[in-house]
Amino acid sequence: MSALPESARVLHAHLHLMDRQVVREVDGRLLCKVDDLELADRANPYVKSILAGPLALGPRIGGWLGRLMVGATELLRPEEDPGPYRIRMHLVSNIGSAITVGGDPEPLALERWVRDHIIGPIPGSSGERPGKHSGERFDEHPAGHPGERPGKARPTHAGPTRLADIPDELRMSHLLDRVVIDPSGEVAGQVADVRLVQDGPLLGEATQALRVAGYIIAPSHTGQLFGYERARGGARPALVSAIIRRLHRNSVYATHEQLDPSTPDGPLKLRTPRDRLLSLTEL
Amino acid sequence: MKRMLAVTLGILTAIGGFVDIGDLVANAVVGSRFGMSLAWVVIVGVIGICVFAEMSGRIAAVSQRPVFDLVRERLGPRTGLVNLVASFAVNLLTLAAEIGGAAVAFELVTGINYLLWVPLVALMAWLVMWRVKFESMERVFGLMGLALIVFAVALWKLGPSWGELAHQVVHPPSDEGVPTYLYYAIALLGAAMTPYEVFFFSSGGVEERWTRKDLATSRANVFVGFPLGGFLSLAIAACAATVFLPVKAVPESLAQVVLPVGLGLGTIGLIVVIIGVFAATFGATLETALSAGYSLSQYFGWQWGKFVRPLEAARFHATVLVSMILATALILTTIDPVMVTEYSLVFSAAALPLTYLPVLMIANDPDYMGDKVNGRMSNTLGTFYMILLIVVSIAAIPLMLATKAGQ
């Protein structure tokens, strides 16, 4: 059983990764949001890549609007079986208020299309950049950077960014919000966040993968956690904090081993009864 | 001089919030019907927007993350989308009204119908956003908007009974109903704290590449810009209270709003005030059009901003262009610009709490802020205003229906 506390870096998928801005390291350009995360290895899952674009966001929005996003994208994309835009995790060089990625991932399909067909043809679109004194952060690309040749997409050492679609059970969003049931079959709550520990298999040369270590299970319909249950002191608006803590007073933590992995669909099943799990306040 | 120019972002932002076309008229209407009895709302609004603009400016300086980025990050894609739709609607409706307002300023000067000026104003605004540096843009229109200070000068020239104005502050007129009074209170508070102000302000901070070293600049922008906006708004109301209230007249158009300045200062005053009105509405056009681009791009994580070439922020510029076209089309239907801003209040109701809650949360998150997290004062005021905004957003629509938008 994975021991607490872990010495490796601990992150929470929902709180620290999902919906953060992705920034290209070389020039500070904004690429996309972390619309979803792709997992690998069903038995001992770890985060393999960042997923973005309408094909990743659509299913998370859900409803007719989500289906419309996915449907329209599939219709317009030239590939036979298009998948979401993806960035491999080993390219991630920093996780902070934004996710910084190295290499030179190309912009998303829609950006390239709008650039080539709408904005590009308008006079002045490529003219002198406003502000000659621009900081180093946004300085010229190094020579030969693919970003300087609009429209010429080519695979980069990021690996192919578009593969066929990714099955639901390998998407982080599929784990979040899933219903969890007790061994007895009773509903124990739903997954509010996924705890990740950076001690998974090696990705690339030196980075270890973020392994799925456990799940924060909240009573159904208590809403988001916002990180307030994992207080590390410091000032915070007392009232907001108190409300969220009260809503989550019955939240528990289950390690990956305490859940039955053989349920790719439907509710996740606990191996250990809910009342024997660690309470969040003990974490 | 350099220090003075550094606060133009705050001035432009505040002008777009407090004295844009809807508020120019709304302030005058309030002054002529309620005297100065709603002045306290403007003060409450100024403090509220200062609290949250300070937080969002600090977040932008420390983490380079603008407000709508935070909305999506903290509220997730679904709730974030609710806010995006509401905010985008507010932006678009306000944008249409501002284009109309700037065109009316031209009509006042030339006598040529404002509808003929609408396409020209829209084209000018788009060219500014397409080509002009962010800093030049904010300086020109921020400083030009200061011409509205002429309302304060005119008030002094009109020589009102200051004792009477002070008396009005605590004595609402008895012939107006309580629901109408509350409706205008909410409309004024909503105008003071419109979400696009923090979208524009925090994105502007990123456009100007604020870092931790610029925290003082950010703060100066907040504490000069927004109180100035509130001051202008009060001056307009006081002018109307002096000229229109005693004769029981209610100004209905921009031409009547600027009338007290003409009475106090003559032709020179009128010229200055029309320059000010143009700068304020044109500045608000830029603010709302860019905010439309900012909010959509930041929700989806697209490259945005004027700090890169348009070619490198293609979806952002396409959003701004499409918003301009839609807003121009809307105002060309001859719809009344002032009425349009009244309806945007409905959408503000959803957007207000969903915008300021994530700001309050991130401003407390050491992952983003390091040692620059909120102090006790910011959190106390922030929580108070969160409660207030929730009350406002619940009450706004019923009050609007009950009073037929304050009639």
Chain B residues with CB under 8 Å of A235 CB are: 364, 373-376, 379
Is pLDDT at B407 greater than 80 in this prediction?
no
**Which pLDDT tens digit goes with each residue over B301-318?**
999 999 999 999 999 999
The token duo for B338 is 């002032």
Per-residue pLDDT of B133-159, as tens digits, reads 999 999 999 999 999 999 999 999 998
For residue A4, is it within any domain? no
Assess whether A195 and A263 both reside in one domain: yes
User: Do A26 and A124 belong together in one domain?
Assistant: yes
Query: Would the CB atoms of A97 and B309 count as touching at under 8 Å?
Result: no
My answer on whether A113 and A207 are in the same domain is: no
How many beta carbons lie within 10 A of that of residue A15, not counting itself?
24
Cα torsion angle, B82, B84, B87, B93, sign: negative
Residue A213 counted as domain residue: yes
CB contact under 8 A, A33 and B72: yes
Least confident of A156-165, A194-203, B309-318: A156-165
* pLDDT value of residue A125: 84
pLDDT of residue A225: 59
- For A42-98, give the DSSP string: SSS-EEEEEEESHHHHHHHH-HHHHHHHHHHHHHHSSSSS---EEEEGGGEEEESSE
Q: What is the mean pLDDT of chain B?
A: 92
Q: Which of A96, A128, A160 corresponds to the end of one domain? A: A128
- Rounded to the nearest integer, the mean pLDDT of chain A is 78
- Estimate the crossing angle of helix B376-402 against helix A238-247, to 10 degrees: 80
Mean pLDDT of B85-92: 94
CA distances from A122 to A25, A41, A115, B130 (A): 29, 48, 10, 10
Mean pLDDT of B190-208: 93
- Do A183 and A111 share a domain, yes or no? no
Q: Which of A113, A87, A112 is nearest to A101 (CA)?
A: A87
| CB contacts, 8 Å: A96 with chain B | 63, 367-368
Distance of CA B325 to the CA centre of its chain: 21
Which of A65, A111, A232 comes nearest B315 by C-beta? A111
Kindly state whether A68 is in contact with chain B, defined as any CB-CB distance less than 8 angstroms: no
Between the alpha carbon of residue B123 and those of residues A29, A66, B99, B128, B305, the distances in Å are: 29, 35, 10, 9, 19
Between A221 and A208, the more confident residue is A208
Contact (CB, 8 A) for B195 and B351: yes
Minimal-distance CA residue of chain A relative to B300:
A33
Residue A23 · residue A100 · CB < 8 Å: yes
Here the tokens at position A82 are 């298009």
Mutate to test the interface with B, among A19, A37, A110, A115 (most CBs of B within 10 A): A19
Give the best residue of B302, B359, B376 to mutate against chain A (max A CB count within 10 A).
B302
Task: Give chain A's domain count.
Answer: 2
CATH code for position A23: 2.30.30.240
**Alpha-carbon gap, residue B160 to B242, rounded angstroms:** 6
Give how far Cα B189 sits from Cα of A164, A229, B352, Å.
Answer: 51, 33, 11
Looking at residue A32, its pLDDT comes to 94
Q: Inform me whether the pLDDT recorded for A159 exceeds 70.
A: no
Go through the domains of chain B in sequence order and give each one's CATH number. 2-402 (1.20.1740.10)
How far is Cα B76 from Cα A241, in angstroms, rounded to an integer? Answer: 18
Q: What is the reported pLDDT for A34?
A: 96
Question: Residue B191 is which amino acid?
Answer: A
Structure-block tokens of residue B34 = 């309620």
Query: B60: nearest CA in chain A?
Result: A97
- Chain B residue whose CA is closest to A232: B366
pLDDT tens for B203-258 read 999 999 999 999 999 999 999 999 999 999 999 999 999 999 999 899 988 999 99
Could you tell me if A227 lies within 8 Å of chain B, comparing CB atoms? Answer: yes
pLDDT at A147: 40
The amino acid present at B106, given as its one-letter code, is F
Q: How far is CA B120 from the centre of its chain?
A: 23
- Bridge partner residues of A92 (DSSP): A101
The segment with the largest mean pLDDT, out of A19-23, A24-28, A149-153, A170-174, is A19-23
Mean pLDDT of B166-173: 88
- The Cα A197–Cα B398 span in angstroms is 49
Q: Residue B302: list chain A partners with CB under 8 A.
A: 30, 32, 111
- Residue A202 in contact with partner chain B when CB distance is under 8 A: no
Out of A110, A138, A235, closest to residue B374 by CB: A235
Residue A87 forms part of a structural domain: yes
Mean pLDDT across A159-173? 68
* Interchain pair A29, B312: CB under 8 A: yes
A15 in any annotated domain: yes
Is the residue at A192 inside a domain?
Answer: yes
Between A233 and B321, the more confident residue is B321
Give yes or no: residues A108 and A176 share one domain.
no
pLDDT at residue number A176: 86
Same domain (yes/no): A16, A115:
yes
Chain B residues within an 8 Å CB radius of A17: none
Looking at A163-167, B161-165, B393-397, which range is the least confident one? Answer: A163-167
CA distance A71 to A86: 19
- Interface touch B302/A19, C-beta < 8 Å: no
- Position A62 in a domain: yes
Closest approach of chain A CAs to the CA of B394, in angstroms? Answer: 19
Average pLDDT over residues B22-48: 93
Domain check: are A124 and A172 in the same one? no
**Same domain for A95 and A19:** yes
For tokens 């020179």, the residue is B268
Say if residue A177 is in the same domain as residue A121. Answer: no
Q: Which of A6-15, A269-278, B378-387 has the highest mean pLDDT?
A: B378-387
A107 reaches B (C-beta below 8 A):
yes
The C-alpha angle with vertex B115 and arms to B112 and B117, in degrees rounded to 5, equals 65
Give residue-wise pLDDT tens across range A129-158: 444 444 333 333 433 344 433 433 443 444
Q: A258-272, B71-85, B89-103, B298-312: which range is least confident on average? A: A258-272
Mean pLDDT of A58-87: 87
The stretch B357-366 carries a mean pLDDT of 90
| Residue A17 is assigned to a structural domain of this protein | yes
B304 contacts A234? CB cut-off 8 A: no
Residue A283: its pLDDT value, please?
57
* Whole-number Å distance between alpha carbons of B313 and B344: 28
pLDDT category at B96 given cuts 50, 70, 90 is: very high
Asked if A32 reaches chain B (Cβ–Cβ under 8 Å), the answer is: yes
- Residue A242 pLDDT exceeds 90: no
pLDDT recorded at residue A264 = 67
Which residues in chain B are closer than 8 Å to A239, comparing Cβ atoms?
383
Determine the residue among A126, A236, A241, A243 to mutate to test chain B binding: the one whose Cβ has the most chain B Cβ atoms within 10 Å. Answer: A236
Q: How many A/B residue pairs have CB atoms within 8 Å?
A: 141
Domain that holds residue A194: 168-282
